[in-house]
Amino acid sequence: MSTNAPARLSVDDEIGPAVDEKPKIEHLEGYNVESKEVEDVIMKSPFEDLPWKKTWVVFRKAALMCIFASFSAAADGFQISMTSNIIANKGFIQTYGTVNDPKTGALILDADILAAWGGIQSAGQGIGMLTQHFVADRLGRKVAFYTLWVSLLIAVTLESFGRDWRSWLCAKLFSGFGVGSVQFMTGMYMTELAPAKIRGFLLIFYSAWYGIGQLCSSLALKVMNDKSPYNYLTPIYTEWAMLGLMAIVYLHIPESPFWCASVGKHDKGRAVIKRLNGGIEGYDVDYHYNIIKRSIEKEQSYQKQIDGESHGFITELRNVKEVFIGVNGFRTLIAFWPACVQQIGGLAVLSSYSSYFAQQAGFGDPFLFSLLLALVAIVCTLVEASLIDLIGRRSLFLIGTITVWVMCMVVGGLGLMTNRSASVNKLVLVFSLFWRLGSTLLGNLGWAYVAETGSSRLRAKTAGIAAAGGVCLGLVFNTSVPYMLNSTGANWQLKTAFFFAGISTPFVVASFFLIPDTSRRTAAELDEMFRKKVKPWRFRSYVTDAQKALNEERARRGDTDPARLQQNA
């Protein structure tokens, strides 16, 4: 046990939720912490009940490490935005164009090649998400980060020196692999380091860096297009700086204590906990590491009951079926659902093909449109980060879902107008920005659900497979949207939004009955609620066994000091 002196808190810092932060809860029964029925309960850290602001102060080292790890998202957003929007650059079209516009005779990008690029990038994302969780579980989170970095290095090399559409196709494959791996790995990693009370903010902050990367990419393309519209290589070369940033991050972040506990590297796991939180007065490293260790051991015991002892990688591969059946299957569905709703809400239109959509919609400056979309995404993300731990994931998700559906209907309706005036085009711009706002809400929350929803033992597998499910839908739309927009295809233009409004309707309704609120819950608490099959709309008000035990212990001892409570547990 720690030898640190117990810490006493002032009245202002007393353990317990702030008055304005505590939701209305269901009845709380008496809970006898000395009875045998709680022997299997994984105790909740008393520090988890610190008020939101106090949590930031006490766990500032862990929070700053999560923020540092999230810097890699800026490189991720820069990479995917650059390769998606540079297709509107005149020099890029001159280099990679293979057909002529039937109306103007100008050289343009072939819709088939555009679809192939979008499809292969989504395929690369899916491959990364379906394979990297094996690397993360067997070799560690850091080794998985190094693997995806090498993939991005190959992609940027091909983009910098290739001059044929086939080289860009290969670059898209490696880029997709790296980007897809970053997307599910970073949020999962941060979940395993962050305190539960501020975890939502940190996960959305990760999305903010992603948006900043997109903004920087759009700004670089805008400036270069204004100065030298046929120079597409200089913006691509800036991706090398992003790779350098990612390398610095991956070299300095620690290994996940959850992974250390899962593979028996307990000394290393305790060292990570000590590095992050060891300086907190009254914080017992052994006690808190044992909470993680017990969570993993409990999940492993369930796995052994189902599948018996593991016998290496082949057994692990076979046991992937766990994430598709029973309670774990339901958790995978929830982790996948936000990405699903975002994709069928028209993400491809305002992401992979935003500049192309702008051209088809009659906007004079497609790069300015992409820049505005990136700005809206960042503002939305910052507001969402300030609200996510206060009003919860579920409420924000439902707001985003409804916003996307309504904007699809409005934009599609404006597309019915022929010979649109400049004022109507401005209206289309405004509603497209609101469309992006709703989609950003869903996307940010999607990575939070991917990171949080899986069990302690299956977190990497659940995150990877759920994210890959979203990519499969992305593959469908990244290959079909060009045909919907292109004049040589369906030529739907703005009416494409009607298509997404139609297919998303049943998913919007289902979201009210499927999406839970995972805010402020520890991994052990989430494991408990899913095992007990708590209704998704009751997650926020549910009182877990760990919380009951902690409340009873606090009331019995009349002690709110977290150090003393953890020593008595």
Looking at the structure, give the CATH architecture of the domain made up of residues 58-253.
Up-down Bundle (1.20)
Q: Nearest Cα to 202, choosing from 444, 539, 462? A: 444
Please report which confidence band the pLDDT of residue 10 belongs to, taking 50, 70 and 90 as the band edges: very low
Q: Find the mean pLDDT for residues 324-332.
A: 89
Instruction: Give residue for tokens 């990367």.
Output: 213
pLDDT tens digit string along 200-247?
A: 888 887 777 877 887 788 788 778 777 887 888 888 888 888 889 889
Domain segments of the chain as ranges: 58-253, 311-553
Average pLDDT over all residues of the chain: 79
Torsion angle in degrees (nearest 10) through CA of 65, 386, 344, 533: 80
Please report which confidence band the pLDDT of residue 35 belongs to, taking 50, 70 and 90 as the band edges: very low
pLDDT tens digit string along 512-557?
A: 999 999 888 888 888 889 988 999 999 988 888 877 877 776 676 6
Measured distance CA(205)–CA(191) in Å, rounded: 12
Measured distance CA(465)–CA(136) in Å, rounded: 13
- Asked whether the domain spanning 311-553 has the same topology as the one spanning 58-253, the reply is yes
Please say if the pLDDT value at position 145 is more than 70.
yes
Looking at the structure, give the CATH architecture of the domain made up of residues 311-553.
Up-down Bundle (1.20)
More confident residue, 569 or 34: 569
SS3 sequence, 145-214? HHHHHHHHHHHHHHHHHCCCHHHHHHHHHHHHHHHHHHHHHHHHHHHCCCCHHHHHHHHHHHHHHHHHHH
Contact between 244 and 108 under an 8 Å Cβ cutoff? The reply is no
pLDDT tens digit string along 95-131?
A: 887 777 777 777 777 777 877 887 788 788 888 888 8
pLDDT tens digit string along 445-483?
A: 888 898 888 887 778 788 888 888 887 887 788 778 878
Q: Find the mean pLDDT for residues 55-69.
A: 89
pLDDT tens digit string along 375-406?
A: 888 888 888 888 888 888 899 999 999 999 99
pTM, two decimals, is 0.70
Q: Find the mean pLDDT for residues 325-344.
A: 91
More confident residue, 306 or 28: 306
Measured distance CA(175)–CA(125) in Å, rounded: 8
- Residue 395: predicted pLDDT: 92
CA atoms within 13 A on the CB side of 392: 17
